[in-house]
């Protein structure tokens, strides 16, 4: 590394949120919460990253209180006395270590298969009863289902604030429920929730509005969104900056404070004719702070965790480029995933010039909670 790392370590403030630096732990599903309850091992897992100077912890996806919200074994819930008591311990541990923390609130939508906990008889819920374009699964949501899910997100956000979380992230990416409404391929509705971009946005806008109503004006709401889907890495919600602006502005108006623009590699440009990535374009078009993400600190790229693809060798884009982009103001925050999974002290080692001590990402990191 040859550059000044200062842009990574500048404090960040928004409303009542105060971060000691610009680095966040990206949300990563871990499957270590039996019956939806995060235990002491989960507390310790997040505490270790906060103790190692990560500014913001974004938790793994936590399911809202709707029968079809969960799609995987042993993922944590964000409802019920036991689960919320577990999350309170996580919040306290992160705060004691000097960090801030958001829960990622999640509904998997049409990804869910019958037989999945907590109630195996529940189907997947989605805009049009599709897992992917042309691939049916579960049931198409009624207007009553839509209202129930909106309420569930509001309830979860209200609980997050009561527990002492510093803000919330809404999972609107990667082909899960919110993204299934946004994506034309899975939203084939002919009512006010389908068709035009404005209509496909309506469900997510109404969730943001409900969350804002529940938490008040100064509590940070972050929305994670992506072009790519686990069902199709080449899928796109928008194809031009003009379409992206049309997509973003209603969300800003509804109350999104920070956009978490999920890409697989942070250094890749989003549109022809500009080096800006998706987070960069989002910040340019809205003026709202954005968080970038994608293979920071990795020497190879592969999607792991709740879904997987073949390994794919890529040229590593170094920390220097990340710092340069942040110094130019392309985006305000950066999320780091697998590098922090592999080594909780990754950020400290970057800061102290000890990157030679960081091992390559190993798949075993996915099967342990350290």
Strands 135-136 and 130-132: antiparallel
In a domain, 1, yes or no: no
User: What domain count does the chain have?
Assistant: 1
Say what the pLDDT of residue 298 is. Answer: 57
In a domain, 338, yes or no: yes
Rounded distance between C-alpha atoms, residue 287 and residue 205, angstroms: 18
Lowest-pLDDT choice from 23-37, 110-124, 285-299, 301-315: 301-315
In a domain, 239, yes or no: yes
Structural domain that includes position 248: 6-366
pLDDT at 301 over 70: no
User: CB burial class (10 A; 0-12, 13-18, 19+) of residue 322?
Assistant: buried
pTM (global) more than 0.85: yes
Q: With pLDDT > 90 as the criterion, what percentage of the chain qualifies?
A: 78
Bridge partner residues of 290 (DSSP)? 259
Rounded distance between C-alpha atoms, residue 202 and residue 253, angstroms: 12
Spot the catalytic one: 176, 193, 233, 370: 176
Mean pLDDT to the nearest integer, 115-140: 96
In a domain, 145, yes or no: yes
In a domain, 79, yes or no: yes
Pick the closest to residue 42 from 83, 73, 72 (CA basis): 83
- Is 45 a residue of the active site? no
Say what the pLDDT of residue 304 is. Answer: 42
Rounded distance between C-alpha atoms, residue 3 and residue 347, angstroms: 15
In a domain, 330, yes or no: yes
CATH number at 162 reads 3.20.20.70
Mean pLDDT to the nearest integer, 297-304: 48
By three-state DSSP, how is residue 125 classified?
strand
């Amino acid at each position: 590394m040859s550059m000044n790392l200062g842009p990574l370590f500048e404090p960040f403030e928004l409303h009542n949120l105060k971060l000691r630096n610009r680095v966040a732990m990206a949300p990563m599903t871990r499957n270590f919460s039996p019956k939806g309850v995060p235990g002491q091992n989960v507390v310790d897992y997040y505490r270790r990253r906060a103790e190692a100077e990560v500014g913001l912890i974004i938790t793994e996806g936590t399911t809202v209180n709707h029968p079809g919200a969960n799609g995987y074994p042993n993922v944590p819930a964000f409802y019920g006395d036991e689960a919320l008591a577990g999350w309170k311990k996580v919040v306290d541990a992160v705060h004691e270590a000097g960090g801030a923390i958001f829960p990622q609130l999640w509904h998997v939508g049409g990804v869910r298969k019958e037989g999945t906990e907590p109630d195996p008889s529940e189907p997947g819920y989605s805009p049009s009863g599709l897992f992917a374009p042309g691939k049916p699964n579960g049931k198409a949501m009624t207007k009553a289902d839509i209202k129930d899910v909106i309420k569930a997100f509001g309830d979860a956000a209200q609980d997050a604030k009561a527990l002492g979380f510093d803000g919330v992230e809404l999972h609107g990416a990667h082909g899960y429920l919110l993204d299934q409404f946004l994506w034309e391929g899975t939203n084939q509705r002919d009512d006010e929730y389908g068709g035009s971009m404005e209509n496909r946005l309506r469900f997510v806008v109404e969730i943001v509005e409900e969350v804002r109503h529940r938490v008040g004006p100064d509590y940070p709401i972050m929305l994670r969104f992506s072009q790519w889907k686990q069902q199709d890495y080449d899928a796109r919600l928008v194809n031009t900056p003009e379409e992206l602006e049309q997509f973003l502005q209603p969300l800003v108006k509804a109350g999104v404070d920070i956009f978490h623009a999920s890409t697989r590699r942070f250094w890749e440009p989003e549109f022809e004719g500009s080096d800006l990535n998706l987070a960069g374009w989002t910040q340019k078009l809205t003026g709202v702070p954005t968080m970038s993400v994608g293979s920071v600190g990795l020497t190879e790229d592969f999607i792991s965790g709740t879904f997987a693809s073949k390994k794919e060798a890529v040229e590593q884009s170094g920390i220097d480029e990340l710092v340069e982009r942040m110094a130019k103001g392309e985006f305000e925050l950066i999320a780091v995933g697998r590098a922090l999974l592999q080594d909780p002290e990754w950020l400290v080692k970057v800061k102290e010039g000890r990157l030679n001590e960081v091992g390559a990402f190993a798949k075993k990191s996915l099967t342990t909670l350290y």
